[in-house]
Structure 1
């Protein structure tokens, strides 16, 4: 079933082509965080500013109680009404209502009325009183023909379509799925560097569930080029497999000379089942050559446990199940099964019928929240006297969310409680961080009340994020645009903040010199100025220090700063413009440079595999190679590790928590299928290697260095890395704020902690004031010593 022609695919399957092409074009690795634009500036009128300072205790208790109930219902109560409500608008509206309550009884009434249409089976009662009998609809006597509906969370699904590994779904609720979700894909990416200018072919076996209309199995092949451009793109639109018998299919394509990745995968279009087996990718330089095998991750689906999603592959498709299977498998081995079904299930565990979560809300109130509801004819059961949801939605229209900014106190309170709940129920590292997250809610609400500007509220959110100690954690807003740096960088050496690297073209224009000690910035003692930055940064001590140095002095472009410096024992004042649009990098050799006849230097933060490939033979024969990972790698440079080993290697597990209970109580397990699988590549490097690193190395860099350390590929020289790994799971808040955080848990392969600890160097290096003064790279010097 070979085909090289993409021009005929429009005719018989036009609709599938358009849907499939969109899906194929959108498949990607998790993107970098994008800045959000702020809402229109909107003043704060007197009537919507609640002064919680006047009745501090009661108002705070009201907000805290609403915040907690909001999270329990939004993420764990499975009613259809709760799934349908606009939760951001409801948060702002709910805040405005609960702040009216003057005592416990009024608060109970407000909460009951607010949630009556959304969660009619939730009960709120005073602490110390006898709880009411559960609503009869939770456990009806006759359950014939009824379906059980309950939430499952793998991480938490926050609408990030490019991060399909984070998912939230209700059992027996295919109607939650959008009409476009009739496509499910399983893919992996291959670094295209070694195959540029070559012909490739993808071969695999596949079959579909027989007798099903609109149930088609497809292979996928796509070549990714820079700037989101695509080369070859084919998914067998003109020849889908519909047979229940195993068939071999093939797609050919060409790898563009600027290609970055090759995507291969499987796709089910429609509702039904499809099986896939024995993926093989080949490449050749011209038609006269023999096809050569391109290494793939887990191509026979033998990695991981039977029944789990395929290890080393990305899966995407809400309402579909992805698993490896031995039933009806290709050649009696293992195959991938993609299946839609009446029961949408992320994993096996689920709340039992009638199971309740009883939680103290504060303010003397208890909430009883059903975690599972029965459904009949596609509607969750509820009491007969339940208010219409439309009445609540009409009342909520008074909240003009698009017109509000953080100058509105109700929006600020709402944003705090929205963010706090996501972390309360789903942040994976509370057992490793020393924080009082309950107090963090109180502190953030108190500060939000006094904030009077978008910038002040940004600071409040940043301070709340600090409590998570998450190196990925941060809050962004469009008001941060237009900032600039000095044309030089800072380092903290021997307890002092010093001038480090100066932009070469600026050296004659600025009055600072390398090695100057900074004593004060704009009249503020440097210790105080540094700590002001440190207090707004989340993560490990080493990461916060690195980030504080980057942010020191950052302000509006073109503004001037006054620096008090110490140089050779005397003090001097220096006026400097903020005129540089990015942080100034350290002074290093060229991205790829021969340091002498026997040692090469490769900066993996500046050299991608496309840059390394032309030098690959020279590097392979060098006596020693120094790889610089002080920072974030450029592209998928993990392929360099495959040249350093003659044996297959794996990364640490990326563990996505699985929850069915609130407050992270009784977590039911992890999805641990995400793991790098690295096969050896030729040419094999023959020499010795050293990797450089420091506290600027985070996330992907730490995955690389953990492999280096676990498999003892090289010495690691420098300082501990940031201690923050795992994919982010960003979300937006009302008012244009964008929040970044780590949604999964990563430990090292020996099961020791990575979070906050980082990858520890095998050879520690401390910078010295004298070294900075004379421009020495003491990390690089130590690496050269080790190789010689």
Structure 2
């Protein structure tokens, strides 16, 4: 009997361990292995969401807007991992308040966390009449990561300041006073007193608690779910406080936070985590979004390329040793209609409608090694069922459009084609010839990698400006009371001889984004030429990054770009003066219908 009891206990232990392993997952930011769980399974999911909601809100407020010296001594990635694991275990509101105070008061001794029905008492005991005291507060130009974005703590008093990034400063006494979940609120000073060397407000006790907190953080040996919860916390805050396009995008990012947390709590693996990141970032409609697990970053690809033509999915080029032919229409993929299959891929892609379609086609092209797809093909009215495998493919023989290898070529008498990879220095010997040409066609369908601003100087007889490029000047969180914009990045291009006399045509589609859209924006805003093809991506503005635990970097747009008249560019892009729709017959015949349209315009 005792042996049977022992066997039953052992089986129960194995089952509990299996459940724990499923919940925790196996991903980790370092080579350390997971050893313990952070989630108390006796908590309801609702309580865990409330706990993490409060932690996430405090995390962003204190990391980015509270100027204490202690906040700069913290490894914020490691703190996010440790803090989510600690806060999520709170049993109720009172317990949560205590845990949040244990986590945040050592870093920000002057903040207050309180329940809705509590009276708030200012406990900061500082002689504000002391004339030697000054004030300190954060200024942000976008999300600090790389140029042109930066942040700085500014020391100031009523009459002077040192090294400001911009003119505006917060009002002395300003606080963040916000709910952090359904039952807790916070007061967080964004201006602190300083004696010129240290910020005031800490005590001997708070300093000891900070040392203990750092010591506990450094003992961490368990990651997995902690990493994923921390990643959601950091990414949500970086976008909440620094993404510049919320006015153009239909999302209430604050209201989405509980659903992000709930999904994070049930992730079991890195793949689940990446799917959650896709789910989050899709909602902000940002064509710059990219991270390390996007499907097209896999090294294996199909032996053909595809594009949309006549509203169908069509093979545009193929390697010789495959059963596929240029012009084949793919009607279904793994039993799903092709358009439905692409729409499912678009659910994990961020950006404008034209960007989502383009990236779904790109995502289809790349996959995992030996992954197979079952394709139903329509070939001249005959239905075929063919299987294709992702493999190691040299992309040299594949291209969505008929390839022109030359950087510069006269494609018809007096009409020149300029490839997208050409630099101004390469064009310099041809400037006089091009200036007298009947027309010049510029390629933007593959994006644009080189600086063509000097070339624009030959298109105009007066100075022209680029679209307005504006970095947010941020003092307060949640995009409240924006201080203004830094527009120093906007270009002015002066005219230069010789001036191009013929027609200028620019070929484009959703592949053109960011810098390419800035160049095309100058063309559009100043009527310098014809734009032929499809709308560009509608994703302009230098990128910044959100650095997440686990070596995951999420790039998103960091500044706002609008057209020269102040109208919206984001999601709309540069719209063509002459729209081109690809056709199946054109693809079969090997035609480049964009170039044909450009030549037609020049010859009119």
Normalised by the length of structure 1, the TM-score is 0.69
Aligned to 1:146: 133
CA deviation after TM superposition for structure 1 residue 120, in Å: 0.9
Change in CA separation of 1:365 and 1:40 when aligned onto 2, cut-off 3 Å: closer
Separation of aligned partners in 2, 1:43 and 1:534? 35
Separation of aligned partners in 2, 1:85 and 1:480? 36
Unaligned runs of 5+ in 2: 1-26
Report if the CA contact (8 A) 1:135-1:383 is conserved. Answer: no
Separation of aligned partners in 1, 2:62 and 2:169? 16
Unaligned runs of 5+ in 1: 1-36, 174-340
Report if the CA contact (8 A) 2:134-2:194 is conserved. Answer: yes
Structure with the bigger percentage of helix: 2
Aligned to 1:118: 107
1:695 matched to 2:510: yes
1:393 matched to 2:214: yes
CA deviation after TM superposition for structure 1 residue 49, in Å: 4.7
Separation of aligned partners in 2, 1:676 and 1:491? 35
Change in CA separation of 1:99 and 1:721 when aligned onto 2, cut-off 3 Å: same
1:450-465 correspondence runs (5 A)? 450-465=266-281
CA deviation after TM superposition for structure 1 residue 768, in Å: 2.1
Q: Deviations over 1:146-187 (max 9, x none)?
A: 1201111111213x3xx1x211111129xxxxxxxxxxxxxx
Change in CA separation of 1:125 and 1:764 when aligned onto 2, cut-off 3 Å: same
Q: How many residues align?
A: 568
CA deviation after TM superposition for structure 1 residue 581, in Å: 5.7
Separation of aligned partners in 1, 2:340 and 2:295? 24
1:617 to 423, 432, 435: 432
Aligned to 1:681: 496
Change in CA separation of 1:58 and 1:381 when aligned onto 2, cut-off 3 Å: same
Aligned to 2:357: 545
Separation of aligned partners in 2, 1:597 and 1:623? 8
Aligned to 2:193: 374
Separation of aligned partners in 2, 1:143 and 1:595? 78
1:117-136 correspondence runs (5 A)? 117-130=106-119, 132-136=120-124
SS where residue 576 of structure 2 aligns?
A: coil
SS where residue 612 of structure 1 aligns?
A: helix
Separation of aligned partners in 1, 2:394 and 2:558? 30
SS where residue 739 of structure 1 aligns?
A: strand
Aligned to 2:287: 471
Separation of aligned partners in 2, 1:93 and 1:722? 39
Report if the CA contact (8 A) 2:296-2:366 is conserved. Answer: no
Q: Deviations over 1:421-465 (max 9, x none)?
A: 011111101011001212432222222222222222112112111
CA deviation after TM superposition for structure 1 residue 373, in Å: 0.5
SS where residue 507 of structure 2 aligns?
A: strand
Separation of aligned partners in 2, 1:479 and 1:773? 28
Report if the CA contact (8 A) 1:477-1:737 is conserved. Answer: no
Aligned to 2:151: 168
CA deviation after TM superposition for structure 1 residue 598, in Å: 1.9
Aligned to 2:414: 598
Separation of aligned partners in 2, 1:773 and 1:51? 60
CA deviation after TM superposition for structure 1 residue 46, in Å: 5.1
Poorly superposed stretches of 4+, deviation over 6 Å: none
SS where residue 60 of structure 2 aligns?
A: helix
Separation of aligned partners in 2, 1:565 and 1:45? 51
SS where residue 674 of structure 1 aligns?
A: coil
Aligned to 2:461: 646
Separation of aligned partners in 1, 2:172 and 2:78? 31
CA deviation after TM superposition for structure 1 residue 135, in Å: 2.7
Q: Deviations over 1:573-595 (max 9, x none)?
A: 22334333658442233432212
Separation of aligned partners in 1, 2:198 and 2:456? 53
Change in CA separation of 1:573 and 1:480 when aligned onto 2, cut-off 3 Å: closer
2:380 to 559, 568, 571: 568
Aligned to 1:580: 393
Separation of aligned partners in 2, 1:524 and 1:67? 40
SS where residue 352 of structure 1 aligns?
A: coil
Change in CA separation of 1:553 and 1:709 when aligned onto 2, cut-off 3 Å: closer
Structure with the bigger percentage of strand: 1
Report if the CA contact (8 A) 2:295-2:363 is conserved. Answer: no
Aligned to 1:98: 87
Q: Deviations over 1:755-779 (max 9, x none)?
A: 0010111112222232223222222
CA deviation after TM superposition for structure 1 residue 492, in Å: 1.6
CA deviation after TM superposition for structure 1 residue 676, in Å: 1.6
Report if the CA contact (8 A) 1:44-1:409 is conserved. Answer: no
Change in CA separation of 1:45 and 1:443 when aligned onto 2, cut-off 3 Å: farther
SS where residue 386 of structure 1 aligns?
A: helix
1:511 matched to 2:298: no
Report if the CA contact (8 A) 1:511-1:576 is conserved. Answer: no
SS where residue 409 of structure 2 aligns?
A: strand
Separation of aligned partners in 2, 1:541 and 1:360? 35
CA deviation after TM superposition for structure 1 residue 481, in Å: 5.7
Aligned to 2:533: 718
1:85 to 74, 77, 99: 74
Q: Which moved more, 1:698-707 or 1:767-776?
A: 767-776
CA deviation after TM superposition for structure 1 residue 479, in Å: 9.9
Separation of aligned partners in 1, 2:294 and 2:446? 25
Supply the RMSD in Å over aligned alpha carbons.
2.3
Q: Which moved more, 1:696-705 or 1:637-646?
A: 637-646
Separation of aligned partners in 2, 1:85 and 1:576? 51
Q: Which moved more, 1:473-482 or 1:410-419?
A: 473-482
Change in CA separation of 1:359 and 1:513 when aligned onto 2, cut-off 3 Å: same
Report if the CA contact (8 A) 2:39-2:89 is conserved. Answer: no
Report if the CA contact (8 A) 1:104-1:363 is conserved. Answer: no
CA deviation after TM superposition for structure 1 residue 524, in Å: 4.2
